[in-house]
Chains A and B, each alone.
Chain A
Amino acid sequence: MRKKFNEFNKKMLGFYGFAAFFIIWQFAPVFNLIDTQFIATPTMIIVAAAKIPIDLLIHISTSVQRVVLGYIAAILTAVPLGFLLGGWFPRINKFFSPLFQLLGQINAFSLFPLFILFFGTKELSKFFIIYWSCIWPILFMTTLGVKNVDPLLIKSAKSIGASNLVIFKDVILPGAAKPIFSGLSVGASRAFLMIIAAEMLGSSAGLGWFINNSNHNNIIPRVYVGVLIIAILSYAFNYLIKYIEANVITWKEDVNV
Protein backbone atom coordinates (compact mmCIF):
# COMPACT_ATOMS: atom_id res chain seq x y z
CA MET A 1 0.00 0.00 0.00
CA ARG A 2 2.69 2.41 1.08
CA LYS A 3 4.72 1.65 -2.03
CA LYS A 4 1.77 2.43 -4.32
CA PHE A 5 1.18 5.69 -2.51
CA ASN A 6 4.81 6.69 -3.00
CA GLU A 7 4.71 5.82 -6.68
CA PHE A 8 1.52 7.77 -7.13
CA ASN A 9 3.09 10.72 -5.37
CA LYS A 10 6.08 10.63 -7.67
CA LYS A 11 3.92 10.79 -10.76
CA MET A 12 1.86 13.58 -9.36
CA LEU A 13 4.83 15.79 -8.59
CA GLY A 14 4.29 17.92 -11.66
CA PHE A 15 0.68 18.36 -10.73
CA TYR A 16 1.69 19.28 -7.19
CA GLY A 17 3.96 21.97 -8.58
CA PHE A 18 1.07 23.41 -10.53
CA ALA A 19 -1.29 23.13 -7.60
CA ALA A 20 1.16 24.82 -5.29
CA PHE A 21 1.62 27.64 -7.76
CA PHE A 22 -2.10 28.24 -8.08
CA ILE A 23 -2.74 28.02 -4.37
CA ILE A 24 0.01 30.49 -3.61
CA TRP A 25 -1.32 32.73 -6.35
CA GLN A 26 -4.86 32.55 -5.04
CA PHE A 27 -3.99 33.30 -1.44
CA ALA A 28 -1.11 35.71 -1.98
CA PRO A 29 -3.27 38.82 -1.54
CA VAL A 30 -4.29 37.55 1.87
CA PHE A 31 -0.68 37.70 2.94
CA ASN A 32 -0.17 41.02 1.15
CA LEU A 33 2.24 39.41 -1.24
CA ILE A 34 0.49 40.84 -4.26
CA ASP A 35 -1.80 43.75 -4.76
CA THR A 36 -5.09 42.70 -6.30
CA GLN A 37 -5.24 45.96 -8.13
CA PHE A 38 -2.44 44.75 -10.33
CA ILE A 39 -2.52 41.00 -10.14
CA ALA A 40 -5.82 39.16 -10.25
CA THR A 41 -6.28 35.91 -8.41
CA PRO A 42 -7.50 32.84 -10.28
CA THR A 43 -11.00 33.14 -8.87
CA MET A 44 -11.21 36.77 -9.89
CA ILE A 45 -10.17 35.77 -13.39
CA ILE A 46 -12.83 33.10 -13.68
CA VAL A 47 -15.49 35.44 -12.38
CA ALA A 48 -14.47 38.15 -14.82
CA ALA A 49 -14.61 35.70 -17.68
CA ALA A 50 -18.01 34.41 -16.67
CA LYS A 51 -19.46 37.91 -16.79
CA ILE A 52 -18.84 38.46 -20.49
CA PRO A 53 -19.12 35.09 -22.19
CA ILE A 54 -20.56 36.31 -25.47
CA ASP A 55 -18.07 39.13 -25.96
CA LEU A 56 -15.28 36.72 -25.22
CA LEU A 57 -16.56 34.32 -27.81
CA ILE A 58 -16.69 37.06 -30.40
CA HIS A 59 -13.13 38.11 -29.69
CA ILE A 60 -11.90 34.54 -29.67
CA SER A 61 -13.54 33.77 -32.98
CA THR A 62 -12.20 36.97 -34.54
CA SER A 63 -8.65 36.17 -33.56
CA VAL A 64 -8.91 32.51 -34.47
CA GLN A 65 -10.41 33.37 -37.85
CA ARG A 66 -7.56 35.68 -38.66
CA VAL A 67 -4.96 33.15 -37.61
CA VAL A 68 -6.56 30.28 -39.48
CA LEU A 69 -7.04 32.33 -42.63
CA GLY A 70 -3.46 33.51 -42.78
CA TYR A 71 -2.13 30.12 -41.81
CA ILE A 72 -4.08 28.16 -44.39
CA ALA A 73 -3.21 30.70 -47.09
CA ALA A 74 0.44 30.32 -46.16
CA ILE A 75 0.20 26.53 -46.33
CA LEU A 76 -1.56 26.65 -49.69
CA THR A 77 1.19 28.81 -51.18
CA ALA A 78 4.25 27.53 -49.38
CA VAL A 79 3.74 23.77 -49.62
CA PRO A 80 3.18 23.56 -53.39
CA LEU A 81 5.90 26.14 -53.93
CA GLY A 82 8.21 24.12 -51.70
CA PHE A 83 7.51 20.99 -53.70
CA LEU A 84 8.13 22.77 -56.97
CA LEU A 85 11.32 24.39 -55.82
CA GLY A 86 12.63 21.41 -53.94
CA GLY A 87 11.86 18.74 -56.48
CA TRP A 88 11.25 20.03 -59.94
CA PHE A 89 13.17 23.24 -60.32
CA PRO A 90 16.30 22.97 -58.22
CA ARG A 91 18.02 25.63 -60.33
CA ILE A 92 15.30 28.17 -59.71
CA ASN A 93 15.50 27.28 -56.04
CA LYS A 94 19.21 27.93 -56.03
CA PHE A 95 18.59 31.27 -57.67
CA PHE A 96 15.96 32.45 -55.25
CA SER A 97 17.32 30.81 -52.15
CA PRO A 98 19.56 33.68 -50.98
CA LEU A 99 16.73 36.15 -51.42
CA PHE A 100 14.30 33.92 -49.57
CA GLN A 101 16.75 33.33 -46.76
CA LEU A 102 17.15 37.06 -46.43
CA LEU A 103 13.45 37.80 -46.49
CA GLY A 104 12.69 34.92 -44.15
CA GLN A 105 14.91 36.35 -41.48
CA ILE A 106 13.12 39.68 -41.53
CA ASN A 107 10.67 39.55 -38.74
CA ALA A 108 7.06 40.07 -39.71
CA PHE A 109 6.72 42.55 -36.95
CA SER A 110 9.29 44.94 -38.36
CA LEU A 111 7.19 44.93 -41.49
CA PHE A 112 3.93 45.59 -39.72
CA PRO A 113 3.96 49.38 -40.21
CA LEU A 114 4.73 48.75 -43.85
CA PHE A 115 1.80 46.39 -44.14
CA ILE A 116 -0.46 48.93 -42.50
CA LEU A 117 0.78 51.43 -45.07
CA PHE A 118 -0.04 49.12 -47.95
CA PHE A 119 -3.19 47.52 -46.71
CA GLY A 120 -4.69 49.88 -44.17
CA THR A 121 -5.67 48.98 -40.65
CA LYS A 122 -8.39 46.61 -41.73
CA GLU A 123 -8.16 42.85 -41.95
CA LEU A 124 -5.72 42.72 -44.85
CA SER A 125 -2.69 43.99 -42.94
CA LYS A 126 -3.22 41.43 -40.19
CA PHE A 127 -3.73 38.73 -42.76
CA PHE A 128 -0.41 39.62 -44.33
CA ILE A 129 1.45 39.58 -41.05
CA ILE A 130 0.24 36.08 -40.33
CA TYR A 131 0.85 35.09 -43.93
CA TRP A 132 4.40 36.45 -43.92
CA SER A 133 5.35 34.88 -40.57
CA CYS A 134 4.03 31.47 -41.55
CA ILE A 135 5.11 31.25 -45.14
CA TRP A 136 8.87 31.23 -44.63
CA PRO A 137 9.22 28.38 -42.13
CA ILE A 138 6.74 26.27 -44.08
CA LEU A 139 8.46 27.01 -47.39
CA PHE A 140 11.92 26.28 -46.05
CA MET A 141 10.97 23.06 -44.34
CA THR A 142 8.98 21.81 -47.32
CA THR A 143 11.81 22.54 -49.73
CA LEU A 144 14.25 20.90 -47.36
CA GLY A 145 12.02 17.90 -46.90
CA VAL A 146 11.57 17.36 -50.61
CA LYS A 147 15.26 17.82 -51.36
CA ASN A 148 16.19 15.31 -48.70
CA VAL A 149 14.02 12.49 -49.90
CA ASP A 150 16.36 9.59 -50.45
CA PRO A 151 17.11 9.63 -54.20
CA LEU A 152 17.50 5.89 -54.05
CA LEU A 153 13.82 5.56 -53.25
CA ILE A 154 12.88 7.70 -56.22
CA LYS A 155 15.12 5.72 -58.50
CA SER A 156 13.70 2.43 -57.25
CA ALA A 157 10.20 3.68 -57.91
CA LYS A 158 11.18 4.77 -61.39
CA SER A 159 12.80 1.46 -62.10
CA ILE A 160 9.59 -0.39 -61.38
CA GLY A 161 7.83 1.91 -63.79
CA ALA A 162 5.98 4.16 -61.40
CA SER A 163 4.47 7.24 -63.00
CA ASN A 164 5.37 10.70 -61.79
CA LEU A 165 2.09 10.99 -59.96
CA VAL A 166 2.66 7.77 -58.09
CA ILE A 167 6.21 8.80 -57.22
CA PHE A 168 4.92 12.05 -55.87
CA LYS A 169 2.10 10.50 -53.91
CA ASP A 170 3.87 7.49 -52.51
CA VAL A 171 7.53 8.41 -52.30
CA ILE A 172 8.05 12.16 -52.08
CA LEU A 173 4.99 13.10 -50.07
CA PRO A 174 5.58 10.60 -47.25
CA GLY A 175 9.31 11.23 -47.31
CA ALA A 176 8.92 14.94 -46.84
CA ALA A 177 6.01 14.72 -44.44
CA LYS A 178 7.95 15.00 -41.20
CA PRO A 179 9.86 18.18 -42.07
CA ILE A 180 6.71 19.67 -43.54
CA PHE A 181 4.85 19.10 -40.31
CA SER A 182 7.66 20.55 -38.27
CA GLY A 183 7.46 23.64 -40.48
CA LEU A 184 3.71 23.70 -39.91
CA SER A 185 4.26 23.63 -36.15
CA VAL A 186 6.71 26.51 -36.25
CA GLY A 187 4.35 28.43 -38.47
CA ALA A 188 1.47 27.85 -36.11
CA SER A 189 3.28 29.16 -33.05
CA ARG A 190 4.53 32.15 -35.02
CA ALA A 191 1.04 32.90 -36.26
CA PHE A 192 -0.37 33.04 -32.77
CA LEU A 193 2.49 35.14 -31.55
CA MET A 194 1.98 37.69 -34.27
CA ILE A 195 -1.77 37.98 -34.23
CA ILE A 196 -1.87 39.23 -30.69
CA ALA A 197 0.70 41.92 -31.34
CA ALA A 198 -1.00 42.92 -34.56
CA GLU A 199 -4.34 43.19 -32.82
CA MET A 200 -2.85 45.22 -30.03
CA LEU A 201 -1.53 47.77 -32.45
CA GLY A 202 -4.21 48.19 -35.02
CA SER A 203 -7.56 46.60 -34.59
CA SER A 204 -10.96 46.99 -33.04
CA ALA A 205 -11.73 43.43 -32.05
CA GLY A 206 -9.96 40.24 -31.21
CA LEU A 207 -8.11 38.99 -28.18
CA GLY A 208 -5.14 41.33 -28.52
CA TRP A 209 -7.45 44.31 -28.71
CA PHE A 210 -9.45 42.89 -25.80
CA ILE A 211 -6.37 42.78 -23.57
CA ASN A 212 -5.30 46.28 -24.52
CA ASN A 213 -8.76 47.70 -24.11
CA SER A 214 -9.33 46.11 -20.74
CA ASN A 215 -5.97 47.47 -19.68
CA HIS A 216 -6.87 50.99 -20.75
CA ASN A 217 -10.21 50.80 -19.03
CA ASN A 218 -8.50 49.50 -15.93
CA ILE A 219 -10.56 46.31 -15.72
CA ILE A 220 -7.52 44.30 -14.76
CA PRO A 221 -8.96 40.80 -14.27
CA ARG A 222 -10.04 40.86 -17.90
CA VAL A 223 -6.45 41.37 -18.97
CA TYR A 224 -5.57 38.11 -17.28
CA VAL A 225 -8.59 36.43 -18.82
CA GLY A 226 -7.25 37.41 -22.21
CA VAL A 227 -3.75 36.18 -21.42
CA LEU A 228 -5.01 32.80 -20.27
CA ILE A 229 -7.35 32.34 -23.19
CA ILE A 230 -4.54 33.08 -25.63
CA ALA A 231 -2.28 30.59 -23.87
CA ILE A 232 -4.95 27.92 -24.00
CA LEU A 233 -5.74 28.61 -27.65
CA SER A 234 -2.16 28.47 -28.84
CA TYR A 235 -1.58 25.31 -26.85
CA ALA A 236 -4.70 23.76 -28.36
CA PHE A 237 -3.68 24.77 -31.87
CA ASN A 238 -0.21 23.28 -31.46
CA TYR A 239 -1.71 20.14 -30.00
CA LEU A 240 -4.09 19.90 -32.95
CA ILE A 241 -1.22 20.03 -35.39
CA LYS A 242 0.71 17.39 -33.48
CA TYR A 243 -2.41 15.23 -33.41
CA ILE A 244 -2.91 15.56 -37.15
CA GLU A 245 0.75 14.80 -37.68
CA ALA A 246 0.55 11.68 -35.54
CA ASN A 247 -2.46 10.46 -37.46
CA VAL A 248 -1.03 11.20 -40.87
CA ILE A 249 2.47 9.92 -40.32
CA THR A 250 1.63 6.43 -39.21
CA TRP A 251 4.61 4.68 -40.67
CA LYS A 252 7.49 6.18 -38.76
CA GLU A 253 8.75 4.44 -35.66
CA ASP A 254 9.25 6.52 -32.61
CA VAL A 255 12.78 7.55 -31.91
CA ASN A 256 12.21 7.31 -28.17
CA VAL A 257 12.71 3.93 -26.65
Chain B
Amino acid sequence: MAAKNKSILEGIKDVFFNSLSVILFFVVWEVGPRLGLLKSTLVSPPSEILVCFIKLITDEKLFSHIEVSLFRSVIGFIIAIIIGIPLGFLLGGWFKTFEKLVEPLLKFLGQFNPFSLFPIFILILGIGEVSKIAMIFWVCLWPVVFNTTTGVKELDPLLIKSGRAMGLGKFKLLTKIVLPGATPYIFNGFKLASSTAFFMLIAAEMMGASKGLGWLVWNAQVNFQIPKLYAGTVLISVLGLIINWLFKIWEKRILVWKEHAIN
Protein backbone atom coordinates (compact mmCIF):
# COMPACT_ATOMS: atom_id res chain seq x y z
CA MET B 1 0.00 0.00 0.00
CA ALA B 2 1.99 2.97 -1.23
CA ALA B 3 0.48 5.66 0.94
CA LYS B 4 1.43 9.09 -0.28
CA ASN B 5 2.37 10.48 3.09
CA LYS B 6 3.96 8.32 5.73
CA SER B 7 2.17 8.27 9.02
CA ILE B 8 3.74 10.29 11.80
CA LEU B 9 4.70 7.12 13.63
CA GLU B 10 6.64 5.89 10.66
CA GLY B 11 8.32 9.25 10.39
CA ILE B 12 9.41 9.08 14.00
CA LYS B 13 10.63 5.53 13.50
CA ASP B 14 12.68 6.67 10.53
CA VAL B 15 14.29 9.51 12.42
CA PHE B 16 15.00 7.19 15.33
CA PHE B 17 16.70 4.57 13.22
CA ASN B 18 18.66 7.13 11.29
CA SER B 19 20.03 8.66 14.44
CA LEU B 20 20.52 5.35 16.22
CA SER B 21 24.29 5.54 15.91
CA VAL B 22 24.30 9.04 17.37
CA ILE B 23 22.02 7.97 20.19
CA LEU B 24 24.22 4.99 20.94
CA PHE B 25 27.24 7.28 20.96
CA PHE B 26 25.65 9.47 23.60
CA VAL B 27 24.56 6.48 25.64
CA VAL B 28 28.09 5.13 25.70
CA TRP B 29 29.37 8.59 26.53
CA GLU B 30 27.00 8.89 29.48
CA VAL B 31 27.34 5.38 30.81
CA GLY B 32 31.04 4.84 30.20
CA PRO B 33 32.50 7.14 32.86
CA ARG B 34 29.78 6.21 35.34
CA LEU B 35 30.53 2.52 35.06
CA GLY B 36 34.25 3.05 35.10
CA LEU B 37 34.69 1.88 31.51
CA LEU B 38 36.09 5.27 30.67
CA LYS B 39 38.23 7.21 33.07
CA SER B 40 35.88 9.55 34.86
CA THR B 41 38.67 12.03 35.45
CA LEU B 42 39.14 12.38 31.73
CA VAL B 43 35.65 11.95 30.38
CA SER B 44 32.70 13.89 31.69
CA PRO B 45 29.33 12.31 31.04
CA PRO B 46 26.81 14.51 29.23
CA SER B 47 24.69 14.93 32.36
CA GLU B 48 27.60 16.46 34.22
CA ILE B 49 28.33 18.66 31.22
CA LEU B 50 24.76 19.89 31.26
CA VAL B 51 25.00 20.81 34.93
CA CYS B 52 28.23 22.65 34.31
CA PHE B 53 26.62 24.37 31.38
CA ILE B 54 23.86 25.76 33.55
CA LYS B 55 26.40 26.90 36.09
CA LEU B 56 28.34 28.65 33.35
CA ILE B 57 25.29 30.57 32.25
CA THR B 58 24.42 31.75 35.72
CA ASP B 59 27.80 32.15 37.40
CA GLU B 60 30.27 32.88 34.71
CA LYS B 61 28.36 34.87 32.18
CA LEU B 62 28.51 32.30 29.43
CA PHE B 63 26.35 34.43 27.20
CA SER B 64 28.78 37.30 27.22
CA HIS B 65 31.51 34.96 26.01
CA ILE B 66 29.25 33.61 23.27
CA GLU B 67 28.30 37.15 22.33
CA VAL B 68 31.91 38.24 22.04
CA SER B 69 32.86 35.25 19.92
CA LEU B 70 29.92 35.58 17.61
CA PHE B 71 30.37 39.31 17.30
CA ARG B 72 33.98 38.95 16.19
CA SER B 73 33.21 36.30 13.61
CA VAL B 74 30.13 37.98 12.22
CA ILE B 75 31.81 41.35 11.73
CA GLY B 76 34.82 39.81 10.06
CA PHE B 77 32.56 37.73 7.86
CA ILE B 78 30.43 40.66 6.78
CA ILE B 79 33.42 42.82 5.91
CA ALA B 80 34.83 39.92 3.92
CA ILE B 81 31.59 39.67 1.95
CA ILE B 82 31.41 43.40 1.31
CA ILE B 83 34.91 43.47 -0.10
CA GLY B 84 35.06 39.96 -1.44
CA ILE B 85 32.04 39.84 -3.72
CA PRO B 86 32.89 42.96 -5.73
CA LEU B 87 36.50 41.85 -5.89
CA GLY B 88 35.36 38.45 -7.10
CA PHE B 89 33.27 40.06 -9.78
CA LEU B 90 36.17 42.22 -10.87
CA LEU B 91 38.30 39.15 -11.24
CA GLY B 92 35.56 37.34 -13.08
CA GLY B 93 36.26 38.68 -16.46
CA TRP B 94 35.18 42.24 -16.88
CA PHE B 95 38.64 43.67 -16.89
CA LYS B 96 40.91 41.10 -18.40
CA THR B 97 44.16 42.94 -17.81
CA PHE B 98 43.41 43.63 -14.17
CA GLU B 99 42.46 40.03 -13.73
CA LYS B 100 45.61 38.63 -15.29
CA LEU B 101 47.73 41.04 -13.32
CA VAL B 102 46.23 40.45 -9.94
CA GLU B 103 44.84 36.93 -9.91
CA PRO B 104 48.09 34.92 -9.53
CA LEU B 105 49.11 37.26 -6.76
CA LEU B 106 45.83 36.81 -4.94
CA LYS B 107 45.96 33.06 -5.37
CA PHE B 108 49.40 33.15 -3.79
CA LEU B 109 48.28 35.30 -0.87
CA GLY B 110 45.16 33.24 -0.31
CA GLN B 111 47.15 30.13 0.35
CA PHE B 112 48.98 31.51 3.34
CA ASN B 113 48.19 29.58 6.46
CA PRO B 114 46.00 31.98 8.42
CA PHE B 115 47.29 30.73 11.75
CA SER B 116 50.81 31.61 10.78
CA LEU B 117 49.64 35.11 9.94
CA PHE B 118 48.03 35.58 13.30
CA PRO B 119 51.18 36.88 15.05
CA ILE B 120 51.64 39.33 12.21
CA PHE B 121 48.10 40.58 12.62
CA ILE B 122 48.63 41.04 16.32
CA LEU B 123 51.92 42.79 15.61
CA ILE B 124 50.40 45.30 13.27
CA LEU B 125 46.97 45.72 14.80
CA GLY B 126 47.55 45.10 18.47
CA ILE B 127 45.98 42.64 20.89
CA GLY B 128 42.50 44.09 20.79
CA GLU B 129 39.40 43.25 18.85
CA VAL B 130 40.69 44.65 15.57
CA SER B 131 43.35 42.01 15.04
CA LYS B 132 40.89 39.18 15.62
CA ILE B 133 38.28 40.70 13.34
CA ALA B 134 40.99 41.32 10.75
CA MET B 135 42.03 37.70 10.91
CA ILE B 136 38.46 36.49 10.42
CA PHE B 137 38.20 38.94 7.54
CA TRP B 138 41.35 37.57 5.94
CA VAL B 139 40.27 33.98 6.34
CA CYS B 140 36.79 34.61 4.91
CA LEU B 141 37.95 36.82 2.08
CA TRP B 142 39.58 34.14 0.00
CA PRO B 143 36.75 31.60 -0.25
CA VAL B 144 34.31 34.39 -1.04
CA VAL B 145 36.51 35.98 -3.71
CA PHE B 146 37.51 32.78 -5.42
CA ASN B 147 34.05 31.27 -5.37
CA THR B 148 32.52 34.49 -6.70
CA THR B 149 35.08 34.55 -9.47
CA THR B 150 34.33 30.96 -10.35
CA GLY B 151 30.63 31.76 -10.30
CA VAL B 152 31.07 34.58 -12.75
CA LYS B 153 33.37 32.57 -14.97
CA GLU B 154 31.05 29.58 -15.06
CA LEU B 155 28.21 31.66 -16.30
CA ASP B 156 26.82 30.48 -19.58
CA PRO B 157 28.00 33.09 -22.08
CA LEU B 158 24.84 32.45 -24.01
CA LEU B 159 22.84 34.02 -21.21
CA ILE B 160 24.92 37.17 -21.33
CA LYS B 161 24.62 37.35 -25.09
CA SER B 162 20.87 36.94 -24.91
CA GLY B 163 20.75 39.69 -22.35
CA ARG B 164 22.76 41.97 -24.56
CA ALA B 165 20.62 41.06 -27.54
CA MET B 166 17.60 42.20 -25.57
CA GLY B 167 19.29 45.51 -25.02
CA LEU B 168 20.14 45.25 -21.33
CA GLY B 169 22.53 47.84 -20.06
CA LYS B 170 25.63 46.89 -18.09
CA PHE B 171 24.01 47.38 -14.71
CA LYS B 172 20.89 45.42 -15.53
CA LEU B 173 23.09 42.75 -17.04
CA LEU B 174 24.93 42.49 -13.78
CA THR B 175 21.94 42.34 -11.48
CA LYS B 176 19.56 40.30 -13.57
CA ILE B 177 21.87 37.78 -15.16
CA VAL B 178 25.30 37.63 -13.62
CA LEU B 179 24.27 37.92 -10.00
CA PRO B 180 21.60 35.21 -9.99
CA GLY B 181 23.80 33.01 -12.15
CA ALA B 182 26.75 33.29 -9.85
CA THR B 183 24.70 32.98 -6.67
CA PRO B 184 25.15 29.22 -6.13
CA TYR B 185 28.89 29.63 -6.18
CA ILE B 186 28.81 32.75 -4.08
CA PHE B 187 26.77 30.83 -1.57
CA ASN B 188 29.22 28.01 -1.58
CA GLY B 189 31.85 30.58 -0.75
CA PHE B 190 29.66 31.84 2.10
CA LYS B 191 29.32 28.36 3.53
CA LEU B 192 33.05 27.73 3.40
CA ALA B 193 33.84 31.13 4.81
CA SER B 194 31.35 30.87 7.65
CA SER B 195 32.55 27.54 8.96
CA THR B 196 36.16 28.55 8.60
CA ALA B 197 35.46 31.88 10.29
CA PHE B 198 33.99 30.38 13.38
CA PHE B 199 36.67 27.85 14.02
CA MET B 200 39.47 30.28 13.17
CA LEU B 201 38.04 32.58 15.75
CA ILE B 202 38.03 29.88 18.37
CA ALA B 203 41.65 29.12 17.57
CA ALA B 204 42.56 32.80 17.69
CA GLU B 205 40.84 33.15 21.04
CA MET B 206 42.74 30.19 22.38
CA MET B 207 45.98 31.82 21.37
CA GLY B 208 45.53 35.37 22.46
CA ALA B 209 42.40 36.63 24.12
CA SER B 210 40.90 37.19 27.52
CA LYS B 211 37.30 36.39 26.76
CA GLY B 212 35.28 34.46 24.28
CA LEU B 213 34.54 30.77 23.90
CA GLY B 214 38.00 29.79 22.73
CA TRP B 215 39.53 31.46 25.74
CA LEU B 216 36.99 29.75 28.00
CA VAL B 217 37.90 26.30 26.76
CA TRP B 218 41.64 26.92 26.85
CA ASN B 219 41.43 28.37 30.31
CA ALA B 220 39.48 25.37 31.51
CA GLN B 221 42.09 23.06 30.03
CA VAL B 222 44.97 24.90 31.65
CA ASN B 223 43.22 24.85 35.02
CA PHE B 224 42.19 21.24 34.62
CA GLN B 225 38.50 22.02 34.99
CA ILE B 226 37.31 19.08 32.97
CA PRO B 227 33.53 19.50 32.94
CA LYS B 228 33.97 23.10 31.88
CA LEU B 229 36.33 21.99 29.14
CA TYR B 230 33.75 19.58 27.80
CA ALA B 231 30.95 22.09 28.15
CA GLY B 232 32.89 24.65 26.15
CA THR B 233 33.94 22.15 23.50
CA VAL B 234 30.43 20.82 23.08
CA LEU B 235 29.07 24.34 22.89
CA ILE B 236 31.60 25.32 20.22
CA SER B 237 30.82 22.21 18.21
CA VAL B 238 27.08 22.77 18.52
CA LEU B 239 27.40 26.40 17.48
CA GLY B 240 29.52 25.39 14.51
CA LEU B 241 26.91 22.83 13.50
CA ILE B 242 24.11 25.36 13.85
CA ILE B 243 25.97 27.85 11.67
CA ASN B 244 26.51 25.22 8.98
CA TRP B 245 22.90 24.17 9.17
CA LEU B 246 21.63 27.77 9.00
CA PHE B 247 23.61 28.39 5.87
CA LYS B 248 22.30 25.22 4.29
CA ILE B 249 18.73 26.29 4.96
CA TRP B 250 19.36 29.79 3.72
CA GLU B 251 20.90 28.39 0.60
CA LYS B 252 17.90 26.18 -0.04
CA ARG B 253 15.57 29.14 0.22
CA ILE B 254 17.56 31.42 -2.01
CA LEU B 255 18.38 28.85 -4.62
CA VAL B 256 14.79 27.80 -5.00
CA TRP B 257 15.12 27.62 -8.71
CA LYS B 258 18.32 25.65 -8.78
CA GLU B 259 18.26 21.90 -8.64
CA HIS B 260 20.74 20.35 -6.31
CA ALA B 261 23.31 19.59 -8.91
CA ILE B 262 26.25 20.67 -6.80
CA ASN B 263 25.49 18.49 -3.81
Contact = CB atoms under 8 A, between A and B. Distances in A.
Contact of B101 (A16, A99, A207, A230): A16
B124 interface: yes
Contacts of A111: 233
A110 B113 contact: no
Contact of A39 (B18, B97, B124, B220): B124
Interface in B101-135: 101-105, 108, 111-120, 122-124
A107 B22 contact: no
Nearest to A231: B112
Contacts of A38: 123-124
A106 B20 CA distance: 19
Q: Which of B102, B108, B112, B119 has the most CB of A within 10 A?
A: B119
Contacts of B233: 110-111, 113-114
A95 B100 CA distance: 49
Interface residues of A, number: 49
Nearest to A223: B119
A113 B104 CA distance: 37
B21 interface: yes
A72 interface: no
A86 interface: no
Given A220-B123, A227-B120, A231-B113, A107 B240 contact: yes
B113 A113 contact: no
Nearest to A207: B116
Nearest to A111: B233
B108 A18 contact: yes
Contacts of A114: 229-230, 233
A192 B111 CA distance: 11
Is chain A's interface secondary structure helix, strand, loop, or mixed overall? helix
Chain B interface size band reads 35 or more
B42 A223 contact: no
A28 B206 CA distance: 33
A107 B199 contact: yes
Is chain B's interface secondary structure helix, strand, loop, or mixed overall? helix
Interface string A130-153: 000000000000000000000000
Given A223-B119, A227-B120, A13 B113 contact: no
Contacts, number: 129
A166 B169 CA distance: 60
B244 interface: yes
Contact of B202 (A14, A16, A99, A109): A109
A247 interface: no
Interface string A170-213: 00000000000000000000001100110011000001100110
A102 B199 contact: no
Contacts of A107: 195, 199, 202, 237, 240
B19 interface: yes
B249 interface: no
Interface in B191-239: 195, 199, 202-203, 206-207, 217-218, 220-221, 226, 229-230, 232-233, 236-237
B261 to A, nearest CB: 15
A227 B240 contact: no
A180 to B, nearest CB: 19
Nearest to A94: B18
Given A99-B22, A117-B229, A234-B111, A197 B217 contact: no
23 contacts: A15-B104, A17-B103, A17-B105, A38-B123, A39-B124, A95-B21, A98-B19, A98-B21, A98-B22, A99-B21, A99-B22, A106-B241, A113-B217, A113-B221, A114-B229, A114-B230, A196-B116, A201-B206, A208-B116, A223-B119, A227-B120, A231-B112, A231-B113
